[in-house]
Amino acid sequence: MDGHPLSIDEARLYASLAALGRIGSYTDERTGLVGVNRLALTDADAEGRRHVVARMGELGLTVTIDRVGNVYGRREGADAGLAPVMMGSHIDSVPTAGMFDGCLGVLGALEIITTLNDAKRRTKRPIVAAFFTDEEGARFGTDMLGSAVATGRIELEAVYALRDRAGTSVKEELERIGFVGPHDVKLAPPHAYLETHIEQGPILRARGVDIGVVTGVQAISWHELTIVGKSAHAGTTPMNLRADAGVAAARINVKLREMIASGHYGTEMRATMGAIVPYPGLVNIVPGRVVATVDLRNPDDALMRASERDVIAFYEQVAREEKVTISWRQTARTELVPFAERVQARVASAALARGLSHARIISGAGHDAQEMAHLCDAGMVFVPGEYDGISHNPREYSTPKQCADGVNVMLDVLLSLVDE
Ligand code: GLV
Ligand code: MN
Ligand code: MN
């Protein structure tokens, strides 16, 4: 921006997103679109990790890796004893991702450090660029794993023991890819934590807003259900003798819609049955078992609790009525996390100073920043996404300018924090 002391390089940032996006890329057979599959702790994730670690080394950062595979790159400050300002996010992805989710925060942090290095800009506080292990939760069932361990919400041993659907544990995979670092997982509180991220939703783009000032992250509750009925022949088994696990799952899914429509849980409740996996999953067999997931979100903690209570009661009702057993376990649960007012104010004024429009917005998705908010003042900068902000999908796309705007705002907020 004219007259502004320091800005990042838009083309360089975008090229670095594209370079990381090539790691784990695949072509969707149906659409021909190129997506990213860097599921946590797979070979592709490992390659992405090595790529980012190498870049941290080139920037002169001191890299430390902790025992859950979180990676921190530190740029020393004039006063090394002061708590650093940390920027970060994640580079693992859902299996059907684009190249922006998480990566913008990590590569944006590296782009900012590149810019500071080129400008020979010293800061009083150290700066740390971080990427956290398995933010997505798409493989081992629980999200924000690395940041939740670093901030003490989840114990390391509990995370090590989590297994994917093939039965492989987090510990085994971390060891296999060589990312069990020597450093203690418990993070000393930074001075502040900043994360730039794509909105992953339609709001900013539809309103023509350049920058989202993120007020917090809504409550999230995940259940994994195992529904067991009786497998039987589809042609010969009378309807009244069936214990159909598929019907039970379908009824719960429809119930989620009815709960939304009832309005009893506020206008912002969201509910999704993202996995419905029948066994044996064949045309002429009544499914004897279904594994299904329920994802509830709500910006209001009390309404979230009410929806959890009612959906659990419905599991029991369906089990009785369909003559199946339903066991369920909580795989993730976080309350509403508000972000620090002072960080929000700085994001807003940075946007203003750069001539960018801004609006306050609550995050619908989970983020590492919500874990870091338990340790220090934390905040997020959202940028809009094209195509209704579609995300967790190969169509995910934010323009080079949208990405650069968000990272420039994060740069300004960082500079307002590093010398105080
Ligand atoms: C993380 O991407 C989430 O599910 O919100
Ligand atoms: Mn993300
Ligand atoms: Mn995601």
Q: Which secondary structure element, helix H or strand E, spans residue 276, and what is its range? A: strand 276-279
Q: Report the alpha-carbon angle 287-288-291, nearest 5.
A: 85
* DSSP string for residues in 195-263: EEEE--SSHHHHHT-SEEEEEEE-EEEEEEEEEE-B-EETTTS-GGG-B-HHHHHHHHHHHHHHHHHH-
Centroid of ligand 3 to alpha carbon of 39 (angstroms): 11
Angstrom CA distances, 144 to 70, 91, 141, 371, stand at 11, 12, 10, 8
Inform me whether the pLDDT recorded for 31 exceeds 80: yes
What is the end-to-end Cα distance of the chain in Å, rounded? 24
- The ligand 1 atom nearest the CA atom of 295: 4
pLDDT tens sequence across 318-359: 999 999 999 999 999 999 999 999 999 999 999 999 999 999
Ligand 3 ion: Cβ-proximal residues, 5 Å cutoff = 101
Identify the residue whose C-alpha is closest to ligand 1 atom 1: 366
Share of the chain above pLDDT 90, in %: 98
* Residue 405, number of CB atoms within 10 A of its CB: 25
pLDDT tens sequence across 189-199: 999 999 999 99
Centroid of ligand 1 to alpha carbon of 295 (angstroms): 10
Centroid of ligand 2 to alpha carbon of 94 (angstroms): 9
Centroid of ligand 2 to alpha carbon of 90 (angstroms): 7
| One-letter amino acid for residue 25 of the chain | S
pLDDT grade for 1, boundaries at 50, 70 and 90: very low
Inform me whether the pLDDT recorded for 264 exceeds 50: yes
Centroid of ligand 1 to alpha carbon of 135 (angstroms): 8
The Cα–Cα gap between 35 and 42 comes to 16
The pTM (predicted TM-score) of the whole model is 0.94
pLDDT grade for 294, boundaries at 50, 70 and 90: very high
Identify whether the C-beta of residue 311 lies closer than 8 Å to the C-beta of residue 293. no
Question: What's the rounded mean pLDDT across residues 56-76?
Answer: 98
Centroid of ligand 1 to alpha carbon of 274 (angstroms): 12
Inform me whether the pLDDT recorded for 104 exceeds 70: yes
Ligand 1: which residues within 6 Å by Cβ? 136, 143, 365-366
Question: What's the rounded mean pLDDT across residues 104-116?
Answer: 98
The Cα–Cα gap between 379 and 370 comes to 9
pLDDT at 4: 54
Share of the chain above pLDDT 70, in %: 99
- The ligand 1 atom nearest the CA atom of 364: 5
- The ligand 1 atom nearest the CA atom of 392: 2
- The ligand 1 atom nearest the CA atom of 143: 1
Q: Mean pLDDT in the chain?
A: 97
- The ligand 1 atom nearest the CA atom of 94: 2
